[in-house]
Amino acid sequence: MAPQLLIVLVFFFWPAITALRQSLYVQDAFGLGETFAGLANFTRVLASQSYHEALFNTAIFSVSVALGAMGIALLLATMADRVLRASRVYRTLLIWPYAVAPAAAGVLWMFMFDPTLGVLSRALAALGVHWDFRLNGHQAMALVIIAAIWQQMSYNFVFFLAGLQGIPASLLEAAAIDGAGPWRRFWTITFPLISPTSFFLLVMNTIYAFFDTFGTIDTTTSGGPGGATRTLVYKLYQDGIVGLDLGGSAAQSVLLMLMVGLLTLVQFRYVERRVQYH
């Protein structure tokens, strides 16, 4: 068998099938006994209010992170593309955050925004903003979104920059001679030409926001306060690893896989139609 297939089999299919099986059973943590529960785990998860809240949080979080990280990255890439001197230095600095481990990045932001000791919360206090993300759910959500965007922005930046550099200069120059301003040039030439990159990044950013933000959330807010920053993947961790509710967390992981599969399908079906490959 091809080695890559073997890897997929061991690291994806085998655990996926185990999870699927586990989601149909109620089991004690030590595995001393189990009873078949049918779809009871699923109905319990789907009926629980905290699951609905986590779903809502995930929607807010993912949309904000995907749009924020892509928007800022595109802006920076457009500007970096025009820099003539020391462009390498700028680019290196902008790519840097991607090399920081999510947990380290989370701790970094947590310290800067710490309600009593943080540099930024003192600055906010001077502006008259009462910053306390340990109690204020909206502020906590804003904090994890900022931290996640900061992490993902660099990744997007690299792809956007490469996309921008692939656009022939002659096209833009011709448009400029015809009297098109920078804004118009961007929307009628640049943006359609980088649409394949944007689409790829949309899919990647959604997956990032859904799965790879665990470390960031864990180190900044741990899902709190009052569950305000508990996303689906964080809830899965809390119920499965901390709470040892194996059946329930297996059901959640099956649901999560369905959701992301569906989302990717929708993106390919509807968003990709607008993408112009060249």
Q: Is 190 left (phi over 0), alpha (psi -120 to 50) or beta?
A: alpha
- Which residues, in sequence order, are CB contacts of 21 under 8 Å at separation 6+? 250
By beta-carbon proximity to another protein, the closer residue of 123 and 241 is: 241
Q: Which of 75, 101, 117, 174 binds another protein (CB under 8 A)?
A: 117
Window of 43-51, 97-105, 150-158, 191-199 that interacts with another protein by CB under 8 A: 43-51
Q: Is 83 left (phi over 0), alpha (psi -120 to 50) or beta?
A: beta
Cβ–Cβ < 8 Å for 74, 149: no
Window of 151-159, 179-187, 195-203, 253-261 that interacts with another protein by CB under 8 A: 253-261
Window of 65-73, 80-88, 180-188, 204-212 that interacts with another protein by CB under 8 A: 204-212
Q: Which of residues 136-175 bind another protein (CB under 8 A)?
A: 136-137
User: Terminus-to-terminus CA distance in the chain, angstroms?
Assistant: 36
Question: Site for another protein (CB under 8 A): how many residues?
Answer: 54
- Judge residue 149's burial from the number of C-beta atoms within 10 Å of its C-beta, 0-12 exposed, 13-18 middle, 19 or more buried: buried
Residue 55 as a binder of another protein (CB under 8 A): the answer is: no
Q: Which of 151, 198, 219, 249 binds another protein (CB under 8 A)?
A: 249
- Least CB distance from residue 39 to another protein, whole Å? 15
Phi, psi of 36 (to 5 degrees): -70, 130
Q: Which of 67, 162, 241, 262 binds another protein (CB under 8 A)?
A: 241
| One-letter amino acid of 49 | Q
Window of 66-74, 75-83, 195-203, 244-252 that interacts with another protein by CB under 8 A: 244-252
